[in-house]
A = this chain, B = another copy of it.
Amino acid sequence: MTNIKEIAKRAGVSPSTASRALSGRGYVSEEKKRLVLAAAEEFDYAPNLNAVSLKTGSTRRIGLVAPRFAEPVSLFTSGLVRAAEANGYTVTLFMTGSDISKETEALEALRRKQVDALVFVVFWSDLSTIAEYVKYGPIVSWQRLVHEAIPSVFMNQYDGYTLALEHLYARGYRRICNVYGDSQRLNTQSRIEAFADFCRKYDLDPHACPSFQNTDTSGDGEKLVRWWLENGRPADAFACTNDWVASGIVAEARRSGLRIPEDFAVCGFDNLDFAHLLDLTTIHYPVDEQANNAFAIIRSRIEEIELPTRPPVFRLVERLTT
């Protein structure tokens, strides 16, 4: 393996001069620079990044921690990788499944200097556990949270959900069935608030229709249709926690011969790739921009510069299910 010493020898300079010529940092005369570059070319030189990392204390690598990498995490992943690579960084994956101890492994990777920073998509560990590790490098969360040391690039789903509710109202739906996700999450709390405020604004009975929690798969959506049929059609619209639930509702409704939006309307959330295949009305949010923000926060901490982050905005995507 040809190293920088050999290049230096071949170019007739010292290793430090070769280092400066190759990295572009420090003063080197044009003359010697040319010699070094020629030698590097000749010997097909490639720097050993492990040595660089050891010396500089920086890997230019950030870790992404998620239970798995399906949609919409895959979108976030792509966005993060794009932002990272554009700035000479690289992304390393840590998959936790639902195993809380795997989150610790990712944190340990940070401590062991395998990565310079960490992005958590979601996590189940205590916030305080995670916060202990910020001394080893920046940690950013996609999941919504409030903590001094751990910035989050979340979007306040109050706004997005309000968008969905207002749309359903404008379309004439009054008996809206709220299908919420994980009841522990702040996002769910925000959506519940949004619905309360919405009811107040239009003087609607918030209990006109039952609501559901911890309902987030397409299978859950299919069950909802059967529930609806067996309970006297108690709703004229479903506001769903995500597109999976909405898709399940649409699919099962079609199987049952129901017509959408005549029998009931369905509004999803996330605007996943397949949503337009089902003509699903849904709420879009720019995952890409959130990933960009996550990276910007990390980079500004690592490189100690001031980088702007743009607040991403929700957008209603009107299709045929409302």
Interface residues of A (CB under 8 A from B): 46-51, 53-54, 59, 61, 68-71, 73-75, 77-78, 81-82, 85, 90-95, 97, 102, 105, 108-109, 111-114, 218, 247-248, 250-251, 255, 273-274, 276-279
List chain B residues, Cβ under 8 A from A94: 81, 85, 90
Contact pick for A113, options B50, B273, B279, CB 8 Å: B50
List chain B residues, Cβ under 8 A from A279: 251, 255
Contact pick for A114, options B49, B248, B277, B278, CB 8 Å: B49
- Give the distance to chain B from A74, nearest Cβ to Cβ, in Å: 4
Question: Would you call A81 and B93 a contact (CB within 8 A)?
Answer: yes
Contact pick for A49, options B97, B113, B248, B273, CB 8 Å: B113
Closest to A250 in B: B277
Interface centre among A68, A82, A102, A279 (most CB of B within 10 A): A68
Beyond known contacts A46-B112, A49-B112, A51-B54: 17 more, CB 8 A cutoff: A48-B54, A49-B109, A50-B54, A70-B71, A70-B75, A70-B273, A71-B273, A74-B77, A82-B95, A82-B97, A85-B94, A85-B102, A90-B93, A90-B94, A247-B277, A251-B278, A273-B274
- Give the distance to chain B from A269, nearest Cβ to Cβ, in Å: 16
A77 to B95, CA, bound (A): 10
Question: Would you call A277 and B218 a contact (CB within 8 A)?
Answer: yes
- Give the distance to chain B from A301, nearest Cβ to Cβ, in Å: 18
A46 to B113, CA, bound (A): 9
Contact pick for A111, options B46, B92, B109, B218, CB 8 Å: B46
List chain B residues, Cβ under 8 A from A109: 49, 90
List chain B residues, Cβ under 8 A from A51: 54
- Give the distance to chain B from A25, nearest Cβ to Cβ, in Å: 18
A197 to B242, CA, bound (A): 45
Closest to A85 in B: B95
A82 to B47, CA, bound (A): 30
Closest to A275 in B: B274
A93 to B95, CA, bound (A): 13
Closest to A68 in B: B78
With A218-B277, A279-B251: A78-B71 Cβ-Cβ less than 8 Å:
no
Contact pick for A74, options B70, B82, B97, B250, CB 8 Å: B70
Closest to A272 in B: B274
